[in-house]
Amino acid sequence: MKRTLALGGAVVGMLAYAAVAAPAATAKSAPAPKTLAQTNFAAQQVAAFWLAEKAANLEKATPYGVETILKPTKHKSTVPSGAATTKPGLVGSSGDKKSTATAKNVNLPRTVGKVFFIGADGKPHWCTGTALQGRYKNLVATAGHCVFDIKRNKATLDKWVFVPGYYKGKTPWGIYVGKTAYTHYDFSVYEDYDRNYAFVTVYNGVQVDVTKEKGGRKLVTKEKVFETYSQARRAAKRGAKIEKVIDYTTKVRRGTPGSTKVENASVAQIAVDPATINTARKTLEDFAKGAGVGSKLYADSTWGVKVEEVSKKEFGWTHRDHWNHPSDATKQTAFYFKKDQRGPDKYYKATFWAYFDVDYKVTVKEWEYQKGKVSVALKDVGRLGDNVGGQGLAYNQKLGAQPVFVFGYPSGSHPDGNAHFTGQTLKWSYGKPFAAQATAQKAENLQGIKSAFTGEGALGSAWLLKYSNATRLGYLNGVTIGVADTDGNGRYDTSLSPYFDGETLQVYQAAEKNWSGKIV
């Protein structure tokens, strides 16, 4: 289904999309990605935001509740009308070759976790997401409006990350910063809920690396500077080293006690204050040109110039006055200029000296007790798929033929006020999907399943077909985009997802071929 009303040019193309050609089932699309975190540095900043202060922002995030309540109608068809009805297919999971033995208890998948982001309200929120198998083991699936900002008509939600197995600030397999986002064109442009799904490539995971350095007695080198030698001598301990140091921050008059003359002083040294370098350079040039051959002391008696005649070769093959370095004032120690004569031109070189205060530095090595230091950094923990595996993908499946598991983090309350779910732990539902529609969202090709999940936090929940209790893997066949109370008893009883068809496969294929890499 495709809407005919656009949202405006600011939204078009802000997420990657699958362009649809007729017939839709055979369209070949290669949508370009839209960036979540473009550079390694940007990704580091996103990870640091969520992990700082013992993951405080992760813990204070609240479940996302944007447009979670739908009013569906049930249909008897086994394939939604209008869906891209190509041949049913499966994209293998990371565990297809492993055992498919069953057990009585349901083993929760390691691939499912929470996606965190900054919502339209500027506050941290979360949805559910799941890791998918892909070429580079870096793919996450969730609801489209858990990536695309439908409230502000903005491209994507900010500071987007995925944390598999998240629990109360714990990131057991690391935190994975989103790099690029892909969704169907009809969702990114028209907010078509029939296409309300997204695939996100993520960088390698990172965790906080805390390094503790043990404290104890250590031999340390200490330095202290004194104005006079007598002060330094009194302060020096046995075995201490005393040496003269020039205080280039204090220029003094010639003959000042405790001072020294610095030959070949640079423009920067004579200026002292970096803010006055240009003014000082002009003063040096003008004084040198008017000084005549020989040495001359400047009026304030803190510096002077020596002018000597040089050959044209030493002056250089240029007609302009110049310094021995074109731009670095710390290296400008000689100024070359010429004087026009009635006869041959004469060329001159000016060098400068200045008087600076002399201090005395005391250097001594001492044993000292130091406290242990703690350093905190990000460390790479590898690719998402290598750490938790990846679900396969199912599309164009006959509805009602096989049951599916729905895994998510439901939170919030039912209409009657009952708050059975907290969103703290992963929960599951089980049943056979059926075709459904939600006319308020103009969604004609949905699938529903009987489920008591509440909507907040459950957005993006993974619908897994052929789920193996042994491998904890199956095939993603839907993502929760909303819930409904179909019988009006005050309790949500149905979860809804877009129907995954051939166009869903195209968006997945465009996403899974993109490499992400490391951020540290």
Query: Tens digit of pLDDT for each residue in 140-166?
Result: 999 999 999 888 767 789 999 999 999
Instruction: Tell me the mean pLDDT in the region 38-62.
Output: 93
Exposure letters 38-65 (e unless 16+ CB within 10 A, then b)? eeeebbbebbebbbeeebebbeebbbbb
Residue 67 pLDDT exceeds 90:
no
Residue showing tokens 């078509």:
192
What value does the mean pLDDT of the chain take? 86
Those residues whose C-beta lies under 8 Å from the C-beta of residue 381, and which sit 6 or more positions away, are 173, 174, 204, 205, 206, 207, 387
- Write down the pLDDT at residue 83: 56
Half-sphere exposure of 183 (CA within 13 A, CB side): 33
- Write down the pLDDT at residue 50: 94
Return the SS3 of 510: helix
Q: Which is more confidently placed, 333 or 365?
A: 333
pTM: 0.66
Per-residue confidence band for 29, with pLDDT thresholds at 50, 70 and 90: very low
Return the SS3 of 339: strand
Q: Which is more confidently placed, 22 or 87?
A: 87
CB atoms within 10 A of CB 123: 11
Residue of 50, 48, 167, 57 whose CA lies nearest to 426: 167
Half-sphere exposure of 411 (CA within 13 A, CB side): 20
Give tens-digit pLDDT for 464-493.
999 999 999 999 999 999 999 998 999 999
Residue 260 pLDDT exceeds 60:
yes
CB atoms within 10 A of CB 269: 21
CA gap 433, 396 in Å, rounded: 13
